[in-house]
Chains A and B, each alone.
Chain A
């Protein structure tokens, strides 16, 4: 099993080395398939490793595999070690499984691109880094993966680097992420100062002795970690990079900016769940930020014309849901939604990619419509994903989102207010996803005459279909107990996050009836949340189910709000005004004034003074040897005189 676990990391790394050496020399097909198979092999290894882990005796919290000693000096000892428990099991399966499908899809999508080999090299590198992130047993190891995925995200967003917008978007993503990372590092430093280690299990083990529940230390540290998470997971106020990240090729958006990397923040909070649960204040902040992000991103998503931008804001919004769950203290549920989201959002992006492919790289929904007939497979799969996203019963997203809303109300740290915010976001979700489906597939065709949409090749549609199956039925592993299910996934992950003991495990022990708030509340909330999703659908149908959806109904009804939504509530402009511009001005000033004028001015001034003085003294140098000689002789005479005087005196 430990070998299998090492292989999980090794295979993508082989893919990277292969891509670097042969990526430009071998034909596309070979490069693409070998890279994909590396990820596929990693998936198989992951399955073996996880099944090996499941076969272990009970009582094992997880499996640790030490690779080698990474940094060791003085009191610092950081091993390069892996940790496999329930949480990382789910994550590696999602990362390699969804990753494999997206790799295969990319073979078709990236066909003919001059950077084909480069693309697959970086995708493999990403997979490697992401696996490192979820498998790392210490925060430092996690951080390697954390920055590694950031690097790959930077490279892949800017994949078409000849476009200014792509190159800028990559840079923006990395810098915004770095702001989060800086907070993350601060948190790590504080943890090290308190615990003398960065090993996650040790920290969790020692935390009851070091931290007081609700104390300022734990609150500050968890807040810092959470800021790190907001950077990676695109939560307010650091969400601005994700929509721009859509400049990258669509499979990248699917894998990195929907299914896996952006969930790293969620993973981090869940991983450190036992610490977060000790800081109720932080959890409230997490929940509020999550809920607000879900609403704000949902609103912005409704008003976008670019199909990928809609999905990007949808991702931001769904990540908000996950944080809402985390903040409510239901860590396992957050991870559950992370998993179902990986299926249906990955699928939505791949579907969108298929649409864009068919539309000859057009992404504006105003020029789409009526694609249902032209792209039957894409249409069918995207509808399934859309239903899952909206939370229509018995699709995967229904179970996870329903759980989130329930926990937001009744979770260990829940509050009805959180539920209300979540409910609003749920309605928004219904609106934007059905708007997307209407404008793309169902409304009358607005496709320009020179474009002839066609269904994508098998290599792209087969992954779509597999993901569609997962998106449809993937939720049943988390079937809640009130519906007669076992809430298996919640229990499973709950053992790892520990904190979920309040939620899922209690359910397991006492039965559905006895769970906080009781099963009655859960059933009621479930019905309400179905109604919310249907409300979203109904609104979208009222607005966009017409013969001619443009101009859009809300645009006419509330033009001011619509404009603000179109312009993403001016976050970018605001940041530029209060941070970007002053910082640039300050830097310019530091350079042009402080460095050149003050410091160098002082230095050169000292030189100038010396120079002037020297010029003046140089006047004594008349250039006549005779005069020098006279001065010499005179001086000697005077010296002799005084010398005599001294010796006599």
Chain B
């Protein structure tokens, strides 16, 4: 579909991405003027608005050209010319799939938690919409200044969601969440400014445009520090071991909606940042960091799994499982291989679906029993067969059962890691066994076993709304498992582009780069098909003439 042909929507289409950000904001404003006690109306507005955004996301998906790594649906506006900040948005395959994921999960999570919050509805629904706007903004921003603003702006609604509508220790959790993230983003801000001045000094142009930063060769020393600052911020967000302890607290205390979005989308912002900034901007430093980050992710995979195994609270079990899963994603990213990068990006989506679904499911029984302790349940398959069936599918999806979504991503990541080095893949493999350990413990404790608690004997199975909420998630979980092609396809050019970028500096990693090695400008936008087909056949220096000038 060529939307430009539709003259009626022509102007809207030209600012389509901006509208996906703006509409939730407008929705939040609309909620602000609704009278205080009209709770259903507020929820209705939030739902309708998020559904509109979802439909817009679908439109993005279908109008997206999956064969190019170039940014599409771009918009460019002068914003603060005095400092060179501009309003640059656009999406490539990775952004697209994450925007669609956000637009998909928000209404799902809202519907899945329809009755779970009953007080301060105005703030709650408005926060939800502001959060959605912020998250989409993070994924579409191509200007670092803009990115940073969205990155920080999105924290506020999440902070409120945890701190106001959370559990008993919500204040501690909310403060921990925001402080952890701020420590990282503070460093990132400094790094962004350093990058800004560095670029200004080298070229005389002061800008925050990401594409411009990719053009310059950053001196090795600066590259290291900048990489560390960016990566630190993103690793906290991921969260990579050992920066993960905010996550269990935030998850346990957050209301169900918050947990779903936190796991489903927010964590992806960390890995997204690694792929969007840390790798392409600082390839040399990133290459040097591989052993360290791979080690941390492998520790995270094992550690997260083992700790998840001994959790008593279902939510913290799922939270620690996220640490393990995101460990896989980071591992895949630092393979710098096309299949590993695609696998990681797909795994972000998979984790969003599976873990999001798990949190919604936990929310369902929490609302019925007001407890999340595994020991308080047991034998629910007897009274809630539909619930049990859904939990089963979702848990196995999370455990990476082939035929469901989790396997495809994990398998690609492991294939890539093994080709880099068996030592990168083999230590991660026990994680697969451990995943079975903790997820089966969850199933064993919740749906299997004798139904011996009186309170559980009268539990009602899922109602129509709750089932309908889960259906789209289940469909995607099965579909990605069996036919992942439509999901891998838009990711492929992005993965190939990053792989090429990383390959260009792979060999002489120990040398200091003093001359610019920008690569040809077109390489940002198009990746020739023959190079994507045989990336390993491309020697490091052949297509990057300047990198041969690296001095010893």
Contacts and interface: CB of A to CB of B under 8 A. Distances in A.
A72 B532 CA distance: 13
Contacts of A560: none
A174 interface: yes
A164 B449 CA distance: 5
Interface string B412-429: 101110110010011001
Nearest to B305: A587
A104 B411 CA distance: 38
Given A599-B242, A603-B245, A607-B179, A76 B444 contact: no
Contact of A162 (B242, B343, B379, B396): B379
Contact of B310 (A155, A587, A599): A587
Nearest to B492: A73
Interface string B399-419: 001110001100110111011
Contacts of A591: 306-307, 310-311
Interface string A139-173: 01001101110010011001001111001101100
A10 interface: no
A587 B418 contact: no
A212 interface: no
B338 interface: yes
A508 to B, nearest CB: 38
A491 B356 CA distance: 53
B440 A171 contact: yes
A158 B392 CA distance: 13
A181 interface: yes
Given A171-B444, A588-B310, A76 B415 contact: yes
Interface in A105-143: 140, 143
A456 B301 CA distance: 52
A48 interface: no
Given A144-B403, A168-B444, A175 B437 contact: yes
Nearest to A179: B433
Interface residues on B, range: 35 or more
Contacts of B473: none
Contacts of A570: none
A190 B242 CA distance: 30
A74 interface: yes
A73 B342 contact: yes
B429 A74 contact: no
A528 to B, nearest CB: 43
B484 A161 contact: no
A74 B496 contact: yes
A192 interface: yes
A201 interface: no
A175 B440 contact: yes
A591 B307 CA distance: 5
B450 A164 contact: yes
A186 interface: yes
B422 A68 contact: no
A586 interface: yes
A602 B124 CA distance: 33
B114 interface: no
A576 interface: no
A181 B411 CA distance: 13
Nearest to A121: B389
Interface in B296-332: 303, 306-307, 309-311
Nearest to B445: A167
Contacts of A170: 448
Contact of A148 (B309, B392, B403, B496): B403
B436 A178 contact: yes
Given A71-B488, A167-B449, A190 B422 contact: yes
Contact of A192 (B179, B306, B415): B415
B339 A189 contact: no
B535 interface: yes
Interface string A185-206: 1100110110000000000000
A600 interface: yes
A167 B492 CA distance: 42
A600 B396 CA distance: 31
Nearest to B420: A193
Nearest to A76: B339
A175 B440 CA distance: 8
Contacts of B536: 75
A518 to B, nearest CB: 46
B381 interface: yes
B245 A599 contact: yes
A1 interface: no
Given A73-B412, A75-B339, A174 B180 contact: no
A158 B339 contact: no
B310 A74 contact: no
A225 B484 CA distance: 26
Given A167-B449, A584-B310, A587-B310, A71 B429 contact: no
Nearest to A584: B310
A595 B319 CA distance: 13
B429 A182 contact: yes
B300 to A, nearest CB: 12
A151 B396 contact: yes
B411 to A, nearest CB: 7
B436 to A, nearest CB: 4
Interface string A583-595: 1101110110001
A71 B354 CA distance: 19
Given A148-B403, A175-B433, A175-B437, A193 B483 contact: no
Contact of A167 (B343, B385, B433, B444): B444
A583 B536 CA distance: 40
B402 A161 contact: no
B307 A71 contact: no
Given A148-B403, A162-B451, A178-B432, A74 B426 contact: no
A154 B443 CA distance: 11
B94 to A, nearest CB: 13
B245 A600 contact: yes
Nearest to A610: B179
Contact of A140 (B176, B411, B535): B411
**Most chain A beta-carbon contacts within 10 A, residue among B342, B415, B482, B499:** B415
A174 B87 CA distance: 52
A133 to B, nearest CB: 11
B133 interface: no
Interface of B: 176, 179-180, 242, 244-246, 303, 306-307, 309-311, 337-339, 342-343, 379, 381-382, 385, 392, 396, 401-403, 407-408, 411-412, 414-416, 418-419, 422, 425-426, 429-430, 432-433, 436-437, 440-441, 443-444, 447-451, 482-485, 488, 491-492, 495-496, 499, 532, 534-536
Q: Lowest 3 CB-CB distances: which A-B pairs, in order?
A: A74-B338, A74-B339, A167-B448
Given A73-B495, A189-B422, 20 more contacts: A68-B483, A70-B485, A71-B411, A76-B415, A140-B411, A147-B401, A147-B402, A148-B402, A148-B403, A161-B381, A164-B449, A171-B443, A174-B436, A182-B430, A189-B414, A583-B306, A588-B310, A591-B306, A603-B176, A603-B180
19 contacts: A71-B411, A71-B484, A73-B342, A73-B492, A74-B338, A75-B535, A76-B415, A161-B379, A164-B450, A167-B449, A168-B444, A175-B437, A181-B433, A185-B429, A186-B429, A189-B414, A190-B422, A595-B245, A603-B245
